[in-house]
Amino acid sequence: MKKAVSRTVRILLTVAILAGLVLFARKVNWSTTWASITEASGTVLLLAAVVNLASLALKGVRWWIFLRPVGASSLWMALRATFAGAGLNNILVANGGEAARVVFVARAAHVQSAKILATLALERMFELIGYIILLVLSVSFLELPHALDRTRPIAWVALAGVIALMIYLVRRPEAIEVPAAETVIGWRAHASAYLRQLARTIGGISTGPRFIVSIGLSVAIWALQLWTYALTARAADFNLPLVGTVAALLAVNLGFAVRATPGNVGVFQAMYALTAAGFGMDKDKAIAVAFLIQTQQIIPVTLLGVVLAPEFIFKRKKVVRAEDHGLELHSRAEESAG
C-alpha cells in the first residue's frame, strides 16, 4: 500500500514538473537561445569542460578515502566507478548510477556490498556538506535573491546538524560484531544483518582526519563547479556577476537528490534562467548558457564513463556473490545438513 502511494506521488510530481517545463518552454525565444549557443567560444568551453571533469575526479578521490579502509584500495577503480556512475546518472531519471557503482566496486574489489554502500553513503554525505557550507557562506556574505536569502536560518540549522552528525560518527562506540556462525533465516533477518554491517562499517571508517580531508575536497569540488559555471557564461558572453553565478549554482542544485528527467534536463535550464533573470539578465541567453553547462556535464562525462568502465555501463548481468550472502548461505547449509 505504501509503495503504491509513494509511486503515485512520484508520478504526479513528475507530471507536474513536466507540465511546468512545457509552459516555461513556450515562453522561450529559441532562436535567440540557439544563436547564443552557436556563437559561444569553443576554447573557453573546452577549458570549462576540463574544470568540470577535474571536479568529478576529486569526487572519486573523496570516495577513495573511505574505500581504502574497507579493502578497496585502488584509486583508479574509484575514479572509473565515479565517472561511470555519473554517466549512468545522466541517462537515467533516478540516480541509478549511485547504486550501480556500489555493485561495480563490490565485484571488482571482492568486498561485501554493505561495506561499499557505507563508503558511498559517507561520500554522498560530504557532497551535501559541501553544498551546505557554500549555502551558509553565500547567505551570510552575499546579497542573494529573496528566495535564497530566506534559507539563511535553514542553512545554519543544517550546518549545525551535519557538524553534530560528524561528531557523533567519529565518537560513537563500535557496533557489536555479528558472530560468524550466526544462523540467519528469511529475508527480514538477512536485511537486518545487512543493515548492521552497513552501520558497523560507517562507524569504523568515520575518523576525524578522513572527515577533515573530505571537507577540504568538498569545498574544492564546489569551487570547481562554480568556476565551470563562470567560464561557460563567459564563453557565451553572458556577463552574469559572481553573486549571480553562486545563486544559480545553489538554485540548480537545490534538489540534486531528486531527478524528474534524465540528467535533470529542462529543470536545470528553468532554474538557471529564472535565477539569472533575477539579476536582470536575459532569460533566453541564460537558457543557452544552461544548455552549454549541461552539455559539458553530460556528453564528456558519459563518454568517459563508457571508455573507462564499459562493463559497468553495458553489462547488466546480475552476479550473486557469496560474500554478500554469506549468512544466508550459511543458513541454507545448516538446513541441508539437518
Using alpha carbons only, what angle is made at residue 100 by residues 99 and 102, rounded to the nearest 5 degrees?
70
**How does DSSP assign 90-119, residue by residue?**
HHSSS-HHHHHHHHHHHHHHT--HHHHHHH
| CA-to-CA dists, residue 247 to 96, 158, 258, 276, angstroms | 27, 18, 19, 8
**pLDDT tens, position by position, for the chain (338 residues)?**
555 655 665 555 555 545 554 544 544 555 667 777 888 898 999 999 999 999 999 999 999 999 999 999 999 999 999 998 888 877 766 566 788 888 889 988 999 999 999 999 999 999 999 999 999 999 888 887 777 778 888 889 999 999 999 999 998 755 434 444 444 556 677 788 888 888 889 989 999 999 999 999 999 999 999 999 999 999 999 999 999 999 999 988 876 555 556 667 677 888 898 899 889 998 889 989 998 998 888 888 888 887 876 766 555 444 334 334 433 333 333 333 34
**How does DSSP assign 227-255, residue by residue?**
HHHHHHHHHTT----HHHHHHHHHHHTTT
Q: How many whole angstroms separate alpha carbon 159 and alpha carbon 17?
A: 29
Grid cell listed for 106: 563490490
Q: How far is CA 268 from the centre of its chain?
A: 15
pTM: 0.79
Domain range summary for the chain, segments of one domain joined by +: 49-337
Residues, the chain: 338
Contacting residues for 233 by C-beta, under 8 A, at least 6 apart = 239, 240, 245, 289
